[in-house]
Amino acid sequence: MDRAEILGWLRETDPARLEDLFRRADAARRKAVGDEVHLRGLLEISNHCVRACAYCGIRAPRKGLSRYRMSAGEILEGAIRAAALGFGTVVLQAGEDPDLARNFVADAVRAVKRETDLAVTLSLGERDEGDLQAWREAGADRYLLRFETSDAALYGRLHPGRGGAPGSPEDRMAILRTLKSLGYEAGSGVLLGLPGQTWESLAGDLEVFRDLDLDMIGVGPYVPDPATPLWREAAARPPEGPGADPETDAFKMVALSRLACPESNIPATTALATVGGEAARLSALARGANVVMPNLTPPRYRRLYRIYPGKFAPDLSDDALLAGLQRSVESMGRRIGRGPGGRVGDRATSSLP
């Protein structure tokens, strides 16, 4: 698909034509990664953050939010719960928190690998190569780092660097390349509906997904947070362009991501479930997605990992969580994936038949 065709689909508003795109994406998903829906248990292990991303509710300058960091024991307990639920992967995510020290994280990864068969995904922000290498050696399988937008001017406005100068999407793309060279499966993605974002920038994002040959791609609607500087701009955003219809636009991006990168693992994101509920999550699974990331963060921490308001994170018993997922997945004629559910074709981590 060339850029003109991608742009044509992004701008498409005719529901019948869009159904055609969604059907093509669903067929591509079935052919490349099959009918399994992989479950990744999400543990939000710290809401401390040194960055000041303009959209994010746990940014460093945010006042009035209690900050927490989970203990090694709590992390292991969460991973054991994910394994007991039959999930194949645990995702350890946090703000960019230097006090999650190299050795602490490495020990946590080793403990999870020793006590469970889970694949371990880390999502801890922009860390140096020494950290990434140590965690890979400890057994981490995957790393998630969204580049958020490939539009350099927009990225720079939203992401002050650690020194204060504007950041560049290249900062994160370089880390993604390092991750691949260290043998990680690399995941990335973007926000959809940022003030100032254009269809052209989203088309550029899709080209970057393909060029980086990403193993995982997550696209979620931007949810404005009144506790952040971007809130005012979002409120003044004109009612057209990307994000005006966050659900449909997210479905377009999921479908186009699947067509651009047929073998990638693509989640139905939590942000999409936040704007469209469980129904939107299921629709995404029917339009190219093949992964769901249920939140397993202990409730007392979960409400503090407040990257945006109203985050979809129901606190369910293990039985209710599993029954709900099973019902949804089976109602679509799909099944819950067993094993780690790595990128297809990668025998080291792909799921068992």
If one asks whether residue 96 binds ligand SAH (CB under 6 A), the answer comes out as yes
CB of 54 to ligand SAH, least distance (A): 9
Which DSSP letter does residue 351 get? P
* Residue number, 159 or 334, with CB nearest to ligand SAH: 159
Tokens matching residue 289: 């997605």
If one asks whether residue 193 binds ligand SAH (CB under 6 A), the answer comes out as no
Instruction: Say how far apart CA 286 and CA 25 lie, in whole Å.
Output: 8
Contact call for residues 127 and 148 (beta carbons, < 8 A): no
Site mask for ligand SAH (CB under 6 A), range 152-191, x = bound = ---------------------------------------x
If one asks whether residue 125 binds ligand SAH (CB under 6 A), the answer comes out as yes
Would you call 95 helix, strand, or coil by DSSP?
coil
Q: Which residue in the set 62, 146, 180, 210 belongs to the binding site for ligand SAH (CB under 6 A)?
A: 146
Task: Return the range that interacts with ligand SAH (CB under 6 A); candidates 3-11, 29-37, 141-149, 156-164.
Answer: 141-149
Instruction: Say how far apart CA 255 and CA 261 lie, in whole Å.
Output: 10
If one asks whether residue 151 binds ligand SAH (CB under 6 A), the answer comes out as no
Residue recorded with tokens 């719960």: 81
If one asks whether residue 45 binds ligand SAH (CB under 6 A), the answer comes out as no
If one asks whether residue 93 binds ligand SAH (CB under 6 A), the answer comes out as yes
Of 240, 243, 56, 42, which is closest to residue 253 (Cα–Cα)? 243
According to DSSP, the residues that pair with 218 across neighbouring strands are: 189
If one asks whether residue 131 binds ligand SAH (CB under 6 A), the answer comes out as no
CB of 119 to ligand SAH, least distance (A): 18
Cβ neighbors of 141 (< 8 A, separation 6 or more) are: 89, 119, 120, 121, 184, 185, 340, 342, 349
Phi-psi region of 273 (alpha: psi -120 to 50; beta: other; left: phi over 0): alpha
Site for ligand SAH in 245-284 (CB under 6 A): 271
Site for ligand SAH in 281-310 (CB under 6 A): 307-308
CB of 185 to ligand SAH, least distance (A): 15
Task: Return the range that interacts with ligand SAH (CB under 6 A); candidates 29-37, 143-151, 253-261, 315-323.
Answer: 143-151
CA dihedral 309, 313, 314, 318 (to 10 degrees): -160
Cβ neighbors of 57 (< 8 A, separation 6 or more) are: 65, 225, 227, 228, 306, 307, 308, 309
* Residue number, 83 or 313, with CB nearest to ligand SAH: 313
CB of 179 to ligand SAH, least distance (A): 12
Q: Which residue in the set 56, 82, 90, 296 belongs to the binding site for ligand SAH (CB under 6 A)?
A: 56
Classify residue 103 as exposed, middle or buried by CB count within 10 Å of its CB (0-12, 13-18, 19+): exposed
Contact call for residues 273 and 313 (beta carbons, < 8 A): no
**Binding-site ranges for ligand SAH (CB under 6 A):** 55-56, 93, 95-96, 123, 125, 145-146, 148, 191, 220, 222-223, 225, 271, 307-308
